[in-house]
Chain A
């Protein structure tokens, strides 16, 4: 079951096309990464999901129904360009933004109290926003985004501008929300920051989707059968022990421990590599090197260029 689905979305602005025939499916209770470089069209797509703008072509579905204005109260959105009224008091402002999402005043008060206590910021209630530091403001923004318990949360560049402590707080809260049934869309150009959290991703480049699917499947598809072996340093000639078809990549020595990357032919398994080297060295660790989303993205973009 998909909580959200966009089919063949196209959006044209006067001078350029922001989205061209883009489709995405966000499964229920999952984290979805919308990845791509700046200017790829991510924010345009997110604005369409939030019904801030309308697509020129394509269909949108939320929870099985056609997307309609009343769905706004089931979506929480933390935009990339985010801010608060500087002169307004924190509590008053949080209450206002929550009510705009359609929660009753009493309900909003109760929930805000819970979250303010949870984040240990209850004494900020009567402060003006301009008196708070940036990190403090971000906490408020986060609370306001999730207060109405949306089924779908959208975070545009969520970690830009957050300090590391808040990033961790945010990540753990987001995982909590997912465990409680929410689905999350992350939109970012900083792929490394979210790939560990995402279940599914879609790569967007130059207004078009170039890749999507489950993260582990994509990684498996794009893996190069490279393995990293760490061992206690010992003079050894790997070329002599290994068959010709094995390719030795970089090798480093650090604090008496050597690390070596070996690419083995696609039809072989790591067991065969181990059989060859086990008798010769004392192994500390053995890992498969999976490509990062960044690597896959670059590879994919290059492929596209070659076709064109």
Chain B
């Protein structure tokens, strides 16, 4: 047993804000979700400039938690013949996203303050 496995188990139920963003981006990209594509999509949609290291750390954690799966694609000419690693949502990932969304909706509806911007 690795010493930090217990830690991971306790983290499993939670989905951080950034992790949610990454999962949703992967869902948006569907079959084209690999490192650089995710990075650029987040930059374009959320305006966040990330480092590759930060992104891959998060991806590795999400994979550990079982929200993501990955497979290697075909060799590509543009990256010196290196393969891309594509990420896909697992059913657990979809479930976690749904849980997050329903929690949000519930909280929005229950809000006693007028949250609308109109």
Chains A and B are bound partners? no
Residues of A near any B CB (own CB < 8 A): none
Chain B residues with a Cβ under 8 A of chain A: none
